[in-house]
Structure 1
């Protein structure tokens, strides 16, 4: 099965990209790297005898690979063109999303920021109940210390 997987990966790589590298990783998967498109595809044996698990991900700066973003199961008997169609769909899903709008400058951000409020909506001030709890705890500590020293 591993020879068939390697052969299929070589054919698939030729269909997908002109520039590619095909290798076997330490888990036994066959990986196709397209450095110029910053994407990778891996093929590994699937659950069934004729099935292959296809996974796709991005190649990060410096050449390291990011974890797989998408995966699909396909049949090896479907042919190279059908596998290429599945791979193209997976590769399209790994494309980065639209970039976020630029953040306003920190100076403008500080000027227009409202003070943060707590979930209760009263701000960060300590409430009356909290002060009563603190006073009771302080009183209990005072009584304990006074009892130990013999003042009472």
Structure 2
């Protein structure tokens, strides 16, 4: 499964703003930090604002800041809100499914289970979990272009929930 650039840029924007909690962040600054086209980012910021993840302040001295505490912004919630759909294969589309083996095939069930597991993991994390090292992130974002870390090298702490302890 792959997220759209729209969702990727949404998450990066939230991370950037979260590590600058005492500032109004300019959209151009975020665009420059991640080398994202500003016009594209403006649309993303607008949607994040409409959804309440960001608070936007218009005007010359305006900018963006988080619309709620990072601990209250769930990653699964953001991904669900920003992605257009999660129909991984044709048989996920009820009215448009022309696959001749759907009635005897278990693919939809297996992929549906995988999708639920995917969201179960995302639902266990918040924006606060992504920015638990704000000083390091701020330093990396201080350059015009953010450092790119291959996904395989990213180590994530698992949050302990009451149900898993």
What TM bracket, shorter-length normalisation?
Answer: under 0.3
> Is the radius of gyration larger for structure 1 or structure 2?
1
Q: Answer 1 or 2: which has greater strand percent.
A: 1
TM-score by length of 2: 0.24
Q: Which has the higher contact order (CA 8 A, sep 6+)?
A: 2
TM-score by length of 1: 0.25
Q: Answer 1 or 2: which has greater helix percent.
A: 2
